[in-house]
A = this chain, B = another copy of it.
Amino acid sequence: MGDTTRPTDHTGLVVLDLDDCLAKLLEVPVGRLAFQLDGELSILPVVHTLDGVDVCFRTTGDSKIQAAIDRDPVAFEVDHFDASTRSGWSVLVQGTATVVDDEMDIRKLDQAARAPWVPPHEGPSTWVRIRTQSITGRALG
């Protein structure tokens, strides 16, 4: 199946380069965060923004996310699939999650952010930064 002009992995998927991955991270507004808490894995959708190569998102009082982000390893994924053509792509970001507490940083992220999807919540709202350690992407079809 290989497209001779683009590298493929051992399963035949096209390997996306870093620029492709970053473009796709910007292209879609919602991604998914995987984190571990009390020995259980969870995946929850978040509305994200990109700061350099770091994925950032605001979480509004979600205690599960907040408990899990104490410099823990996390994964973040964006994708798009078309069932009619059985094609699509996915981008995976791996890193550690930290709470953003610097005022300048918070202001910068607030300005760059997309409008929140979840209506403002009475509880505290926190910016989380995933300090990116790797970004990889694959495309199919």
CA distance A73 to B37 in the complex (A): 11
* Residue on B nearest A33 in the bound complex, by CB: B43
Q: Report the copy number of this chain in the oligomer.
A: 2
> Given that A32-B32, A86-B117 are known contacts, is A43 also in contact with B76, CB under 8 Å in the complex?
yes
Prevailing SS type, chain A contact patch: strand
Q: 8 Å CB contacts to B: which residues of A61-112? A: 61-62, 73-77, 79, 81, 83, 86, 88, 90, 92, 94
**A57 at interface by CB-CB < 8 Å:** no
CB contact between A121 and one of B12, B42, B75, B141 (< 8 Å): that residue: B12
**A118 at interface by CB-CB < 8 Å:** yes
A94 contacts across to B, CB distance below 8 A? 40-42
**A29 at interface by CB-CB < 8 Å:** yes
**Across the interface, do A61 and B118 meet the contact criterion of CB distance under 8 Å?**
no
CA distance A29 to B28 in the complex (A): 19
User: Which of A43, A118, A121 counts the most chain B CB atoms within 10 A?
Assistant: A43
Q: List 6 A-B contacts (CB under 8 A).
A: A30-B83, A36-B36, A36-B41, A43-B43, A44-B90, A117-B141
Besides A11-B61, A42-B92, 5 other CB < 8 A contacts? A29-B81, A36-B36, A41-B74, A43-B75, A88-B117
